[in-house]
Structure 1
Amino acid sequence: MTEPIANSMKWTSALSTRPSLEAAIAEVVEQAKESLQATPDLALVFISSAFTSEYARLMPLLQEYLPALPILGCGGGGVVGADRSGITQEVEGQPALSLTLASLPNVKVQTFYLGAEDLPDLDSPPDAWINQIGVPVTAQPHFILLADPFSSRINDLLQGLDFAYPGAVKVGGLASGGGGNAQTGLFCNYRLYRKGTVGVALSGDIVVETIVAQGCRPIGQPYWVTEGERNILFGLEEQPGADPSPYRSGARVSQKRTPLEVLQDLIQNLSDADRTLAQHSLFVGIAQNEFKQNLEQGDFLIRQLLGVDPRVGAIAIGDHIRPGQRIQFHLRDAQASAEDLETLLRRYRQQSRHSATGALMFSCLGRGEGLYGEPNYDSHLFSQYQPGVSLSGFFCNGEIGPVGGSTFLHGYTSVFGIYRQP
């Protein structure tokens, strides 16, 4: 007879769409406690921006039900959680509250708040960042980060944390509102913050894996960057002899051209539908692995194409670029986004030999029903490939997740943090 695993990790989420904040809190707490059937060690709360005027009431009300519990959360244009039947739902543009409770045996949970003024200079040593977080690098922590999009210096924070904790997985998102002048809400240990970043470091018996679905498909072939300065591309080198697969790299030859020439030829050879799409949904993927020959989905950091200079044939992109890197043009639409996520989910299921316990989804406001024309697309696709794994999260103003070993702020992306025991 098989003995049950002692001290196993447990993770559950609950969702309420009640328009009364008091009623919504009571419902999610009751549902989550009933489902968890264990003492929680961490709570995560995501609240719809439809409740913006009541953000200040959330923590005091929640503390009555869950006193002395490490808690982290933020407001979002939409929230994700499981309804009473256990089915994950994405609720956009209406009142909703999502609560996740996790029982994490042998895991140290340390929450923190960082204002922009607290961040060390980027030239500071790792110890300066470690002292701000309060977790030694030997603890090998993983992070969940929720930040204000306007005042957090989030890119500096991600760069600093990668420097100080190079092996740590960092996922999260920027708090989002319903547009206009809606105020940001960040929550940490029963306090409301309007600026900065809240986070939690998890160390001990916990493994975090990620899926970063940037929602694009490649067109053309990869190119070597021969000339580049800051975020401006001046020269590209073709790689002919490539496999028909759009991610296959061929042999390097000296056939340099301006990026604009490459782009014009590429667009000319697209289908009518893709040519139309390229007018408003054209992106640049930057390969993150300098040595990998056969590039595939997940190997590129997707960045916006900001503009062109027809005088010199240069293009500007939304990130720094340097000679020697490889780039490939990409297109984004609903079909590409769906296929990208499914490819990554299928690959994760094939490669993972362990069962996940819980997961968090940080999805761009530009995805969801507005992109797919139907609700719950990303979350239900995740559940098809990871049945029984509790999923929660929110719709972000920017998504935090790793590509190629470094952590980036993304757009139009769904980032999944997947949690299990070692």
Structure 2
Amino acid sequence: MTKAKAVLAESLDWQEALNEALAKLASFGEIDLLCVFASAAYRQFYPSLIHDLYTRSGARTLIGCSGQSIIGNDREVEESPALALLALSLPGAKLRPTHLSQEVLSGEINADILGHILSQSTGLSEPDINAWLLLADPFTTGDAEPIINALTVAYRKRPIIGGMASGQFRMRETHIFLNGEVYDNGMVALAVGGDYTLRPVVSQGATPIGEAWMVTAADQNMIQAISGRPALQVLTDSMKTLSPEQLDKFRKQPLVGLAVDEYKAEFGRGDFIIRNLMGADPRTGVIAIGDIPRIGQTIQFQMRDEVAADEDLRELLSKSRNEMGGNMPVAGLLFSCNGRGSNMFAESDHDAKRIAEALDEMPLAGFFCNGEIGPIGSKTFLHSFTASLGLFVPTKPDA
């Protein structure tokens, strides 16, 4: 029988947290997949914690990682010791995990090579896979974008959801978990196939400002001209459309949106990949952004604040629920930026609560990330300040 349960345990002592979490799962039965997110406060005890959890739970597959802050059901425990588990019984699912080491990921990676590696390590060919779940160490995978791009090409139209592990702020160290092992490098990838898949809901929480324009001259991440005008002049004109309050928010965190689909007749929220506006040169009129735009790509300046982020998440959850109809999710995994939570919202537990409200208190677990992985349109990106939600749903409504 399909079942899911998420539990959250808070304690300074890792053994107390583990015992409490397992006690809450005592009546669950057989576990096909156990997702684990453990506070960085337990880092020195991870080998014992993960080994004990894997052994005592009897889970067929265990995956997870360290987190600066931990999410369980409708709670977000920020920078305080906690352990969140999501137990799943998914009859008919094909769940095949693998660890990709730092050595593998630092070599030449393209779609063919990565596809071959994953096929060999998971035992599943490309048609057998419905979705991918990724958990990665941000400090040893290097630039994760080429890996994500290669995976997108190798498994076209398959959702890819996940996050970059996080830890204690001052330490450049994170950990990822697979079955009874703890790794301080690379990436854990879980292929999801058979009767289940992952449905993505990716909320970037940004609102377009001004008009949509076209990049007409650029060199790497430096945009020289937008619609034939100096890029800085277009930025200045866009800022003139803002109220004093909006202008203050934009100046604190200026953003740009690069359109994912050039062929849309109109552009709005959710049609852009959001990147930082990194600087501007008044002498040349050039602006620098946190990505490499294409000549001819549509660009629009963006603003992110608490109101926009709340509206965006609500709208996307409502839209996703309507599209799913009666094929509701069994459970969800939430990968939320460590810049969200109390850093963005006045209300505590904001993202977790919104998901609980929209999806009937569905079992949920996750963590605050160093980068969130999820699709915009047909392409998967590495994001920041984003809530990336993966919903476990049957591939057939009656599964």
TM-score category by the smaller chain?
A: over 0.9
Out of 99, 102, 124, the position equivalent to 1:116 is 102
In 1, distance between residues paired with 2:13 and 2:276? Answer: 40
Moved more, 301-310 or 54-63: 54-63
Moved more, 322-331 or 223-232: 223-232
Q: Please show how residues 33-182 of structure 1 align to structure 2 within 5 Å.
A: 33-34=26-27, 36=28, 38-67=29-58, 69-82=60-73, 88-119=74-105, 121-123=108-110, 125=112, 127-131=115-119, 133-134=121-122, 135-153=124-142, 154-181=144-171
What's the CA shift for 1:351? 2.3
In 2, distance between residues paired with 1:33 and 1:160? Answer: 40
Q: Give the equivalent residue in structure 1 for 2:332.
A: 359
Match for 1:50: what amino acid? A
Give yes or no for contact 1:52–1:182 (8 Å, CA) kept in 2: no
**CA 1:63/1:419 → structure 2, altered by over 3 Å: closer, same or farther?**
closer
Q: Give the equivalent residue in structure 2 for 1:27.
A: 20
Match for 2:71: what amino acid? V
Match for 1:381: what amino acid? R
What's the CA shift for 1:64? 3.4
Match for 2:154: what amino acid? A
Where do 5+ consecutive residues of structure 1 fail to align? Answer: 1-6, 83-87, 238-255
Give yes or no for contact 1:32–1:100 (8 Å, CA) kept in 2: no
What's the CA shift for 1:292? 1.2
Give yes or no for contact 1:19–1:95 (8 Å, CA) kept in 2: yes
**CA 1:323/1:115 → structure 2, altered by over 3 Å: closer, same or farther?**
same
What's the CA shift for 1:403? 0.8
Moved more, 96-105 or 137-146: 137-146
Q: Give the equivalent residue in structure 1 for 2:288.
A: 316
Q: Give the equivalent residue in structure 2 for 1:288.
A: 260
Quote the RMSD (CA, aligned, Å). Answer: 1.7
Give yes or no for contact 1:229–1:322 (8 Å, CA) kept in 2: no
Listed one character per residue, the Cα deviations across residues 20-73 of structure 1 (whole Å, up to 9, x for unaligned) are 211211111221243x3x421011100011222222221222133124621001
Q: Over alpha carbons, which structure has the higher Rg?
A: 1
In 2, distance between residues paired with 1:94 and 1:58? Answer: 17
In 1, distance between residues paired with 2:121 and 2:279? Answer: 38
Listed one character per residue, the Cα deviations across residues 89-125 of structure 1 (whole Å, up to 9, x for unaligned) are 1111111000111111111111110123213524563
Listed one character per residue, the Cα deviations across residues 331-389 of structure 1 (whole Å, up to 9, x for unaligned) are 11112111111121122222221211111100011100221123111110111111131
Partner secondary structure for residue 308 of structure 1:
strand
Listed one character per residue, the Cα deviations across residues 106-160 of structure 1 (whole Å, up to 9, x for unaligned) are 1111111012321352456354444465331010231111111111132222111
Do residues 231 (structure 1) and 218 (structure 2) align? no
Give yes or no for contact 1:149–1:175 (8 Å, CA) kept in 2: yes
Q: Give the equivalent residue in structure 2 for 1:10.
A: 3
In 2, distance between residues paired with 1:381 and 1:324? Answer: 37
Do residues 216 (structure 1) and 206 (structure 2) align? yes
Do residues 193 (structure 1) and 191 (structure 2) align? no
Provide TM-score, normalisation by structure 1: 0.88
Partner secondary structure for residue 317 of structure 2:
helix
Out of 296, 300, 315, the position equivalent to 1:328 is 300
Give yes or no for contact 1:130–1:164 (8 Å, CA) kept in 2: no
Moved more, 312-321 or 125-134: 125-134
What's the CA shift for 1:204? 0.6
What's the CA shift for 1:311? 2.7
Give yes or no for contact 2:119–2:126 (8 Å, CA) kept in 1: no
Give yes or no for contact 1:52–1:183 (8 Å, CA) kept in 2: no
In 2, distance between residues paired with 1:123 and 1:400? Answer: 18
Give yes or no for contact 2:139–2:172 (8 Å, CA) kept in 1: no
Q: Give the equivalent residue in structure 2 for 1:371.
A: 344
Q: Please show how residues 298-309 of structure 1 align to structure 2 within 5 Å.
A: 298-309=270-281
In 2, distance between residues paired with 1:329 and 1:116? Answer: 36
Match for 1:104: what amino acid? L
Partner secondary structure for residue 21 of structure 2:
helix
Partner secondary structure for residue 266 of structure 1:
helix
Q: Give the equivalent residue in structure 2 for 1:250.
A: none
